[in-house]
Chains A and B, each alone.
Chain A
Amino acid sequence: MLGDLLFLPFVAGLLITVVLALAGAGLFLRGSVWQALALGQWAATGGVLASVFHWPVLPVALALGAGVMALLQRSPDRERLPLAVFLAGLAAVTLLAANFAQASLAAAAWAEGQLYFAGPRELWAVVALGLASLALAPGLYRVWRHAQLAPDVPATPAPLAWLRLTEIGWLVAAVVLGSMVLGLPAALATLLLPAWGAAYLARNLRGLFLWTQAIALTGFLIAWSLSLPLDQPFAPVLVLVNIALAVVARLLATRRTP
């Protein structure tokens, strides 16, 4: 099933799925799902813009993603502003694609996902992010757990500012790299849907992280085994599979809870 050509895409996809699932659980706990939408769209806008000017894609996507996140962090509005920023990014991509041929190709690539074409460069970037995620996981967990408390205040010190900034930077990197490797819709589906399904099944915070990983990895493996033999683009298949799994998780939780 895994020829030499598909080994790198498979490993890169699996690893970025683990990272995105972790980020998704974090975004769920922060109540920032709209921010993920805006961030992912502007990462794609950065990628399309880079294709027009023949700039390297990753730094441009990261820079725009970081800019958007910095803007969103300055406002307490968790819904309308992120939605407006998302729509602005969508409009920018559409306009670029309408006016530049290479932008049109790049936009299609970001929408459909380029997982089958992931090479060593993408794999190393994902491995680096995976290792960084492992090292940062305890700190990220602390930030997300502390975010649940407001408006109550604990007597223990809050996570330090550098840790909160690191968490935001890590989220930007995860969403940007995830969108590059899997395509924007697939990355967003991996970010949002497994955590949503897991939130119904989990008995506690630890369970949320474990269930999120289990659902996300199951979704990736099912989508991989369906899209290749059926000769379909990976991203839309993954989106549909993740929606189905989230619905199943919701139904299972309903049956379990009297």
Chain B
Amino acid sequence: MTPQPALAILRAQAVHLGFHRPVLGPLSLEVPTGARWALTGPNGIGKSLLLKAVTGQARIHGGTLELGPSTRVSLLAQDHSRRDPWPLCGHDWFRAMGAAAPGQPRVQALLNRRLDRLSGGQWQLLRLAAALHSGIHQRPQERLILLDEPANHLDAEVRGDAVELIATLPTDATLVMTSHDDDFLRAVGAENHPLTDYLNAR
């Protein structure tokens, strides 16, 4: 008996993506459930646009972009500027993301602190932890986690924690990320998938 191929949690068929007008496509790809994908390629090729289209923040101008049944998507955006003042604490952020805070001491230490008083690295770590644990009550195979440049802003102090958070994700959950940081991608065990390999593909 041949092993069953993993079902796709995300499938794009000749899809054209953009905001007011299409700027990416035709793009065709299938992300298997439980995959750890790193979408790579030069700046401006459309990696972030694809992630935004999956969450409905960018428009589909043609073709199809489908999620597996009951799939819930969380996204860590490339940047999240903080207002000043911003009277939210780490606990508030996890509640808003529908996430349970992980037990990691460095994340736990941020929960009672105001978000506008965290360093850039601490803020990125907190957001990453919340994105990874959002929808934690969902079945792992129904979770698609999108991380747009998760290694941005991570200083040496919190980088190891970020890698550990990603490494402890349930194996059935699917992770698609973009990054230019090859060391980080190797550390989290992500497979490289150049986006250009899926452009103009039928």
Chain A contacts of B79 at CB under 8 A? 151
Binding site for B on A (CB under 8 A): 31, 145-146, 148-149, 151-156, 198-200, 202-205, 207-208, 257
Q: B96 touching A146 by the CB < 8 A rule?
A: yes
Chain B contacts of A145 at CB under 8 A? 92, 95-96
Q: B96 touching A155 by the CB < 8 A rule?
A: no
B61: interface (CB < 8 Å): no
Q: A152-B80, A152-B130, A156-B72 are in contact. List 17 more A-B contacts (CB 8 A).
A: A145-B96, A148-B96, A151-B75, A151-B79, A152-B77, A152-B127, A153-B55, A153-B57, A153-B73, A154-B134, A156-B97, A200-B85, A202-B87, A204-B87, A204-B89, A204-B91, A205-B88
Summarize A's interface: helix, strand, loop or mixed.
loop
Q: B98 touching A156 by the CB < 8 A rule?
A: yes
For this complex, 25 residue pairs linking A to B, each with C-beta atoms less than 8 Å apart, are: A148-B93, A149-B96, A151-B80, A152-B97, A152-B127, A153-B55, A153-B77, A154-B74, A154-B96, A154-B130, A154-B134, A155-B72, A155-B97, A155-B134, A155-B135, A156-B97, A199-B85, A200-B85, A200-B87, A202-B87, A204-B88, A204-B91, A204-B114, A205-B87, A207-B87
Residue of A nearest to B99 (CB): A154
Chain B contacts of A207 at CB under 8 A? 87
Q: B76 touching A155 by the CB < 8 A rule?
A: no
B200: interface (CB < 8 Å): no
- Give B131-143 as 1s and 0s: 1 = Cβ < 8 Å from A's Cβ atoms: 1001100100001
Residue of B nearest to A204 (CB): B89
Q: B75 touching A153 by the CB < 8 A rule?
A: yes
Summarize B's interface: helix, strand, loop or mixed.
mixed
B83: interface (CB < 8 Å): yes
CA distance A156 to B135 in the complex (A): 6
CA distance A204 to B90 in the complex (A): 8
Number of A-B contacts (CB under 8 A): 79
Chain B contacts of A155 at CB under 8 A? 72-74, 97-98, 134-135, 138, 143
Q: A204 touching B127 by the CB < 8 A rule?
A: no
Q: B96 touching A199 by the CB < 8 A rule?
A: no
Chain A contacts of B135 at CB under 8 A? 154-156
What is the size category of the interface that chain B forms with chain A? 35 or more
Among B72, B80, B89, B127, contact of A203 (Cβ-Cβ < 8 Å): B89
- Give B38-82 as 1s and 0s: 1 = Cβ < 8 Å from A's Cβ atoms: 000000000000000001010000000000000011111101100
CA distance A31 to B84 in the complex (A): 11
Chain B contacts of A203 at CB under 8 A? 87, 89, 112, 114
CA distance A156 to B137 in the complex (A): 10
Q: B74 touching A153 by the CB < 8 A rule?
A: yes
CA distance A207 to B88 in the complex (A): 9
Within 8 A of A (CB), among B93-108: 93, 95-99
Q: A205 touching B80 by the CB < 8 A rule?
A: no
Chain B contacts of A200 at CB under 8 A? 85, 87
Residue of B nearest to A211 (CB): B87
B126 nearest CB across to chain A (Å): 11
Chain B contacts of A198 at CB under 8 A? 87
Residue of A nearest to B78 (CB): A151
CA distance A145 to B130 in the complex (A): 14
Chain B contacts of A148 at CB under 8 A? 88, 92-93, 96
Chain A contacts of B85 at CB under 8 A? 199-200
CA distance A100 to B146 in the complex (A): 61
CA distance A208 to B115 in the complex (A): 14
B6 nearest CB across to chain A (Å): 20
- Give B141-167 as 1s and 0s: 1 = Cβ < 8 Å from A's Cβ atoms: 001001000000000000000000000
Chain A contacts of B83 at CB under 8 A? 31
